Structure 1
Amino acid sequence: MNDLSIVYAVNLIIGAILAGVMSRYWRLEAQSGSLRYWIVAAWTLTAADLMFVLRASYPDAVVRMLPTLMVTAGQLVLLFAAKRTTERPTSTRAALGILVLHGLFLLGVMGMPELADWRSVGNSIVWTALAFRAAWILSRPIRGQRSVMQIPAFVLVCHGVFQALRVALAMRAATSPGDGIGPLIQMMGDLEVSLFMVALFVSVLAAFLEQSNRELRVAIDDVHQLSSMLPLCSWCNNVRNDDGYWQRIETYLTTHRVNVTHGICEDCAATHFVGQPAPKEP
């Protein structure tokens, strides 16, 4: 196994761990429809790493372009995840169109060897556009509230900037083949896979945990509000207890560890003790 295969193998292990952790969290805790798309994206990018590891054994050049298209598919699923998280409509037809156009571009480059250096340029342009689009969607407020997905949006912006830098370097390599920056572009791509997947999917998982905590806090506040409501009879002022039985308010408060003392107000004293001294309060 060469050094490049080792790098892709490490990326594969990292991606599998992240995708597995997210899948476990979704199964045990979240059950969120939008999180399902993030998990699919994680597994898709992990599968792309697996194909990169094995691509040296692919017998056909056309088949060897599948890992690149798998990365594009993963980016498209990320875009779907961003839209579902922000409750925006998705378009499967548009996603398939982008995937087909990218595939045609790769076939065209393979058919014209003199344009082989422009392959990295085209790939990075597609991935840059998808990253910035997903970041823009996540950065938009949801129902007028600040979204918990601001950190994943920032990670996607960084990824878009990184890919834009790769576009610039790849264009320079394509126009000036003698500069020798091809290995630098390859190294940037290898680093990007690990850094991007770790930063993005860890931040996504943290965002969903934060959202779950917010929902839990709201639920606790609702329980406190409901538990503070006292069912009181409008006629006899008896209280309905937790078992559904009506009892005197003094008994109810005593059972809930509230000490009760008795007194008499001025109106009741004037009504019930006319012409005689009112009883003294205990």
Structure 2
Amino acid sequence: MSQETVIYLVNLLIGVILAGVLSQYWRLEASGQSLRLWIVAAWTLAAADLFFVGRSMLPQGMVPRFLPTITVTCGHALLLLAAQHTAERPLQKRPITLIVVSHLLLLLIMRAVPSIQGWRAVSNSLVWGALSLAAALVLWRSGHRMRELMRFPAMVMGFQAVFHASRSLLATQAVVDSSAVQSAAVQMLGDVEVSLFMVALFVGVLVAYLRQGNADLRTALDNVHQLSSMLPLCAWCNKVRDDDGYWRRIEEYLSEHKVSVTHSMCESCATKHFDEFGADRPVSK
């Protein structure tokens, strides 16, 4: 078994574990569409590692050379969509799809023209780096609360963009100098970086959602504590004095503390105000 295959197997194992942990957390906590997109991206990148393993272990030609590469591009595209959804930005599905399709066409052209295949690493790094940079900027420019939660994933995506920019320069030099050794080193560097990137990114995403869940729980406990304490009510209009000293309708006060209010009528009030209607008076529920 070659060193390249071992690296691919390690990356596959790491990807499956991370995607499985994220999936289990999402299933138990029902964290919504935002985390679901991160999970789909994680499984997509794990599938890319599986294709890389198959390409290195199976007979040549059974796994097309472009298949794992374009799967990585799809994974990065999903990461950008996940970042946009997390930051509550509109999902730019059409431009992102166009980038993926364009990269696929470029890979097919390079496969058909062997003389330019040496530029594959350059084009791959440019596409992946651009998608990573876009995701980092989206997370960094989100609202203050979300930016604080997703600060580390945004930094990881930014470092990923810088890495691919450097890798594209090294790959360009390898093509210009026709250095097979340098080209192999660039490929090996990218394979090793994948595992570090996935661990840092998806662990950071999971920690961010755990922090968000903890903050929501603290807010809920604070609301329960506030509602379980003494409420200053006006003896005449039943308004509530809030923490700032303002008198507000009790419905508004309870709504701010995440308590839903519905109105009905007790039996004594129904008898008092609608007794003349007899059996047709409103009945409380």
> What TM-score do you get using the length of structure 1 for normalisation?
0.79
Structure 2 partner of 1:157: 158
1:183 deviates by: 2.1
1:152 deviates by: 0.2
1:43 deviates by: 0.3
Structure 2 partner of 1:130: 131
Amino acid corresponding to residue 106 of structure 1 in structure 2:
L
Structure 2 partner of 1:3: 3
Structure 2 partner of 1:120: 121
1:58 deviates by: 6.1
Structure 1 partner of 2:73: 72
TM-superposition CA deviations, 1:12-52 (whole Å, max 9, x none): 00000000001001111243210000000000000000000
Structure 2 partner of 1:14: 14
Equivalent pair of 1:41/1:77 in contact (CA under 8 Å): yes
Task: Provide structure 1 residue ranges, at least 5 long, that are not aligned to the other structure.
Answer: 236-282
Equivalent pair of 2:139/2:147 in contact (CA under 8 Å): no
TM-superposition CA deviations, 1:94-148 (whole Å, max 9, x none): 2221111001111111122111110100000000100000000000131677431
- The number of equivalent residue pairs is 236
Equivalent pair of 2:51/2:68 in contact (CA under 8 Å): yes
Equivalent pair of 2:15/2:43 in contact (CA under 8 Å): yes
Structure 1 residues 161, 143: CA separation in 2 closer, same or farther (over 3 Å shift)? closer
> What TM-score do you get using the length of structure 2 for normalisation?
0.78
1:179 deviates by: 7.1
Structure 1 partner of 2:44: 44
Structure 2 partner of 1:246: none
SS of 1:180's partner is: helix
Structure 2: distance between partners of 1:182 and 1:219: 55
SS of 1:73's partner is: helix
Amino acid corresponding to residue 7 of structure 1 in structure 2:
I
Q: Describe how 1:160-175 pairs up with structure 2 within 5 A.
A: 160-175=161-176
Structure 2: distance between partners of 1:78 and 1:144: 20
Residue 104 (str. 1) matches residue 102 (str. 2): no
Amino acid corresponding to residue 201 of structure 1 in structure 2:
F
Comparing 153-162 with 84-93, greater Cα deviation is found at 84-93
Equivalent pair of 2:55/2:63 in contact (CA under 8 Å): no
SS of 2:148's partner is: coil
Structure 2 partner of 1:33: 33
Q: Describe how 1:256-267 pairs up with structure 2 within 5 A.
A: none
Q: Let me know the Cα RMSD of the aligned residues.
A: 2.1
Q: Describe how 1:204-243 pairs up with structure 2 within 5 A.
A: 204-230=205-231, 234=235
TM-superposition CA deviations, 1:134-182 (whole Å, max 9, x none): 0000001316774310110000011111111100100001111137311
Equivalent pair of 1:58/1:64 in contact (CA under 8 Å): no
1:229 deviates by: 3.5
Structure 1 residues 218, 98: CA separation in 2 closer, same or farther (over 3 Å shift)? same
Comparing 33-42 with 61-70, greater Cα deviation is found at 61-70
Structure 2: distance between partners of 1:121 and 1:15: 24
Equivalent pair of 1:141/1:147 in contact (CA under 8 Å): no
Structure 1 residues 168, 229: CA separation in 2 closer, same or farther (over 3 Å shift)? same
1:233 deviates by: 8.4
Amino acid corresponding to residue 118 of structure 1 in structure 2:
W
Structure 1 residues 113, 41: CA separation in 2 closer, same or farther (over 3 Å shift)? same
Equivalent pair of 2:51/2:63 in contact (CA under 8 Å): no
Equivalent pair of 2:38/2:82 in contact (CA under 8 Å): yes
Equivalent pair of 1:140/1:147 in contact (CA under 8 Å): no
SS of 1:181's partner is: helix
Structure 2 partner of 1:254: none
The structure 1 segments of at least 4 consecutive aligned residues displaced by more than 3 Å after TM superposition are 58-62, 143-147, 229-233
1:230 deviates by: 3.6
